[in-house]
Amino acid sequence: MPKKAKEMSAIEVRNLAEPGTHFVGGVAGLALRIKDTGAKSWVLRATIGSKRRDYGLGGFPDVPLASAREAAREARMKIKAGIDPVEETRKARSALKASQAVALTFRRAGEAYIKAHSEGWRNEKHADQWTNTLATYAYPKIGDLLVQDVQLPQVLAVLEPIWTTKTETASRVRGRIEAVLDWATARGHREGLNPARWRGHLDKLLPKPSKVARVEHHTALPASEMPSFMAALRGQPGAGARALEFAILTAARSGEVRGATWREIDLDAGVWLIPGERMKAGREHRVPLSPEAVALLKALPKHGETDLVFVGAKGGQLSDMTLLAVVRRMKAPCVPHGFRSTFRDWAAEHTNYPSEMAEMALAHTISDKVEAAYRRGDMFEKRRQMMADWAAFCAAGSKEKPDA
């Protein structure tokens, strides 16, 4: 152990100015090191194991003499106990850096998740929905928490206030919280089970969504009223009316119709090929066009500045409210999406076409995985006849059709 130097006072230490190492006494090996620049710092010179080392204790005057002596005494106690304070400090700093590297708030995790997955989503609207729901319901409660600190109480604090009043929204928020936390776990920012998981966890604490919220289906027009409605619709002017008429004839979704382009359509073959990125299920969908649908398309004006089939007043795509405005103007007790249900009811109640053919026309996902695996074709030519019959029914209310 080095000899103790003469114990200096605080004033004597403050007056030290010559560059070098000045032992100040009070604790063996405690010294004030002064650099040529005048910067001063405390060091403890000690033998740790078989090596002599200088252990930094902080700068002067931020660390005053009394504090430096106390820190030096604690360090010497550790050395006596077989602990290397230099290595201990290094490990602590390393652990802190590692901790800071994995520290991530739920808000930042949510933003990173959306950025990582938005390219694979069908449209920007989907990303906006994710952003808005998390910002509205999740971030105010858990946005500033580190993801590893988001546990069951925090998840319930988000969900319980809206579970019975905004059930569908709450269910989506739960799923999105679960997805963000799963992403954070996969990235190494948290460990353990996901507190937002439903099966075997939250389903024991919250009522099933179907028990607390009535599913509201899109209002549909009865099939028997379809001929008179179609006759009235054909008397309506504008791109919105033509788009709605085309949507009815093809049993397509509003978004699929509004985004339709001429390059997707083969008028000679009577085929509309919708690419997978524009479909809800993400798969390419072939639509057989009835003679009425082809005639409608041929009568449309072409716009050289855009490839869109149905063009809005400003030259772009029709808004999602345009078709609804047509229905409201006609004072019909339904919504545009409801005509898909009307088509489904017509197929079931007015024809003998098999239900799976109607489901294919609607581009519905097959829930039975075994059936989906064995269903290779898309019944295209049979669907062509069905869509021709549907168009004829819409035009005049044809009689029931024979077996397909």
Residue 299: predicted pLDDT: 94
Cis peptide before 333 (omega within 30 of 0): no
Residue 183 confidence (pLDDT) above 50: yes
Judge contact between 218 and 337, C-beta under 8 A: yes
C-alpha to C-alpha distance for 15 and 262, rounded to whole angstroms: 87
State the Cα–Cα distance between residues 258 and 241, nearest whole angstrom: 12
* Cα gap 33→18, rounded to integer Å: 9
Cβ burial, residue 118 (10 Å; 0-12/13-18/19+): middle
List the single range of 207-221, 248-262, 334-348 with lowest mean pLDDT.
Answer: 207-221
Q: Per residue in 331-376, pLDDT tens?
A: 999 999 999 999 999 999 999 999 889 999 998 865 554 444 434 4
Least confident range from 169-173, 210-214, 258-262, 305-309: namely: 210-214
Taking the model in full, what pTM does it have? 0.52
How far, rounded to the nearest angstrom, does the alpha carbon of residue 117 sit from its chain's CA centroid?
A: 7
Spatial neighbors of 106 by CB under 8 A, at least 6 apart, are 138, 139, 142, 143, 144, 145, 146, 147, 150, 180
Query: Per-residue pLDDT tens for 85-144?
Result: 777 777 777 665 655 555 789 999 999 999 988 877 766 677 888 999 999 999 999 999
Query: What's the burial of 371, exposed, middle or buried (CB within 10 Å: 0-12/13-18/19+)?
Result: exposed
Do 116 and 183 form a contact (C-beta atoms < 8 A)?
yes
Strand partners, 46: 53
Average pLDDT of the chain, as a whole number: 86
Whose structure tokens read 């035009």? 395
Smallest CA-to-CA distance from 358 within 338, 386, 334 is with: 386
Nearest to 346 by CA among 288, 396, 400: 400
Domains of the chain: 10-101 (3.30.160.390), 106-212 (1.10.150.130), 223-396 (1.10.443.10)
